[in-house]
Amino acid sequence: MTVSLYQTGVSGLLAAQQQLATTGHNISNVNTEGYTRQRAEQNASLGLSNGPNYIGSGTYVQDITRLYDQFSYKEQLLNQSNLGTANNLNGSLNQLNDIMSYSGQAIMNSVDQFYQAVNGVADNPSDLGLRSIVLNQAETLSSDFRSLNQNFDEIEKSINGEIEQVSRKISEISVELAKINETILQTQDLTQAGQPNDLLDKRDQLVTELGQYTKVNTIEDTNGVMTVMIGAGTTLVAGITPLTVRVESGDPDPLQTQLRLVSPHSTVAINGSTLGGSLGGSFEFRDEHLIELRSEINRLAMAISSTLNDSQADGLDLNGQQGANIFTDINTAQLQQGRVLTPTTNAGNLQGQVNITDVSTLPTDEFEVRYNGTDYIMTNMTTNASTNLGAPGSGTYTTSFGFEFIETSGAPANDDSFIIRPTENSAALIKTTLTDGAAIAASSAVEITPSDNNISAGQVTIVDMFDPINAQTAMPIRIDVLESPVGIFNYTITDNLGVTSAPIAYTPPTQAVNLPPLPATASFQIEISGTPSGSAPNAPEQFFIGDAFGLGNNSNIVAMAKTQEQGVINGGKETFSQSLAISTSVVGSKSSSAKLVAETAEALFTQAFNRNQENSGVNLDEEAANLLKFQQAYQAASQIISTANTIFDTILAAVR
């Protein structure tokens, strides 16, 4: 009886001691990140048979367990990944919004100041000082575009640096997780219930850190070894085998870096947009938001260059020469070639380029041209709409998007593809190429004067100028429009030699006419509009076209000034300022939305974290109460042992 009592007391003493040790361990790690509260699971020992009864034999600690709830932990992990994405996008879009707020406003101011200078020349076309101001403002405008593009380059470089840094960190975590898995496998004893709790905490802490960078899913086998998957199910850690993430140059765009998962025997491409976490946010920002804004700014730079260069080409400068380009030609060989990106995986040797034909219909979308063995199939990467361009060998392929795809050399192989970015490099390469203010084409080459005898509201206007020099030499020309009989119109053209053409039918409301008439080469185009109806004896209605060049002629520079208020972009719906304002406001809206998403993600993560901590975190008040309880149990067990010793001593004394 004394021995049984002694053993019972010792078991209670040892159990209380382990409870105190576990409680002390919890208290000591109250500030340890990733620590999961532990609890000593205490059970009663099997009773000893004593006749018809069983006498209790004490207690024992069965296991030291972690108070771990996998469901609340995985909820926390998921919300942490979402928070990583939201915070990354919020920071990046906020930075982009700041840049657009400053640089976008600078471009808008430069556009306004350029047109103010143009209006100054319109007021006094022969003033060389005013003409120099136009060129100075043009240089400021082109410099602002290049500066904004440089900001985009710096952001892209920074994002690529973040992607590379995070990829290295993910690889390090993968190696550490594999080492912990190996340690667990070596130390795990399937015949015992105990687990290496602190080692499991370390592993979960690494998984938690990984969850900041990417979406994470884990599976644990019967041996306690964990398989870790990232993104859409890509295995990062396979038991004790770690895989690493490597950054490679993009193909076909080397700056659009890509990720590959590296195993001991192979590598596999990873779709960055599916990764989630901060890494997924980096890819989304770079490949969606930044590239979209860059394309819009490139298109704006192209539209300004094209519109003002075309306006220059319509007129004559102070020397009577056709106006030269103010800005870089939008179809230089460098720009045309830079719009086509060729993957290194292509088996063929076809080289291509893109020629811009109509800025007003040009989208900011990216296209893929793929050769299917028979034809080129062009796919809009935004809408997925496809267009059959035809078989190879035609040289030039016209599209409905304001550009042409041109074969320059070589031939394609089956399944070769080409990425087309119609606006690529327009902001980066825009320069003011005109250096002499006298070369600004303020004067028109020809002008139309209606006869004083005309009585109708019908008009003849110049709508396009192909060659102002030749147009000037073809003067004078007279257009006679006659209504005879009522409701039937025709017109004649009298050239500079006095030769009058046969009557040509005119059907209101408009008719385009190329001049001078055949067989001469057309130098400009006029448009007859309305119903120029004369009446006897003043019929027909006459319009005289003559040489208009002069130092005081401002017709062409006035037309150039009007382009500020003309719809040029997006199908002619947006002016330059409107296009820039829309781009800036869209970025601002995205930034504001990203801030709200980040705040929501922060709140959801905090809630998930708190729920997990309610179960797994250390509560000092609870641990203090446990400490007192187990201390009293220890003291009580000590009294049992003391009592057993006294009884034993009494028995020994009785038999002496």
Average pLDDT over residues 365-370: 96
Q: Specify the pLDDT at position 536.
A: 63
Identify which of 73, 27, 148, 67 has the alpha carbon closest to the alpha carbon of residue 583. 148
Q: Specify the pLDDT at position 656.
A: 67
| pLDDT tens string 94-110 | 999 999 999 999 999 99
Same domain, 627 and 534: no
Task: Examine residue 317 and state whether it is found in any structural domain, yes or no.
Answer: no
Of 531, 547, 563, the residue at which a domain comes to its end is 547
| pLDDT tens string 605-614 | 999 999 999 8
- Asked if 545 contacts 447 with a C-beta cutoff of 8 angstroms, the reply is yes
Same domain, 543 and 630: no
Q: What band does 193 get if pLDDT is binned at 50, 70 and 90?
A: low
Of 514, 532, 547, the residue at which a domain comes to its end is 547
| Mean per-residue pLDDT of the chain | 92
pLDDT at 190 over 60: no
Q: What is the DSSP letter of 288?
A: I
pLDDT at 223 over 90: no
Task: Examine residue 246 and state whether it is found in any structural domain, yes or no.
Answer: no
Task: Examine residue 600 and state whether it is found in any structural domain, yes or no.
Answer: no
| Strand ranges, E, within 410-476 | 417-420, 443-444, 446-450, 459-465
The H or E element containing residue 506 is strand 504-506
Q: Specify the pLDDT at position 83.
A: 96
| pLDDT tens string 308-331 | 999 999 999 999 999 999 999 999
Task: Examine residue 59 and state whether it is found in any structural domain, yes or no.
Answer: yes
Task: Examine residue 342 and state whether it is found in any structural domain, yes or no.
Answer: no
Task: Examine residue 515 and state whether it is found in any structural domain, yes or no.
Answer: yes
pLDDT at 1 over 70: no
Q: What band does 192 get if pLDDT is binned at 50, 70 and 90?
A: low
pLDDT at 271 over 70: yes
Rounded CA separation 37/532 (Å): 95
Of 547, 580, 598, the residue at which a domain comes to its end is 547
Amino acid at 53: N
Identify which of 515, 542, 533, 566 has the alpha carbon closest to the alpha carbon of residue 460. 542
Average pLDDT over residues 228-253: 93
Task: Examine residue 217 and state whether it is found in any structural domain, yes or no.
Answer: no
| pLDDT tens string 422-431 | 999 999 999 9
Range(s) of the domain holding residue 454: 446-547
Instruction: For residue 384, count CB atoms less than 10 angstroms from its CB and return exposed for 0-12, middle for 13-18, buried for 19 or more.
Output: exposed
Q: Specify the pLDDT at position 651.
A: 81
Encoding tokens for residue 380? 């809009």
DSSP code string of 536-580 = TTTPSEEEEEEE---TT--HHHHHHHHGGGS--BTTTTB-HHHHH
Average pLDDT over residues 1-12: 76
pLDDT at 133 over 90: yes
Same domain, 622 and 541: no
pLDDT at 623 over 60: yes
Task: Examine residue 593 and state whether it is found in any structural domain, yes or no.
Answer: no
Number of compact structural domains in the chain:
2
| pLDDT tens string 141-187 | 999 999 999 999 999 999 999 999 999 999 999 999 999 999 988 87
Q: Specify the pLDDT at position 207.
A: 95
> pTM of the prediction?
0.89
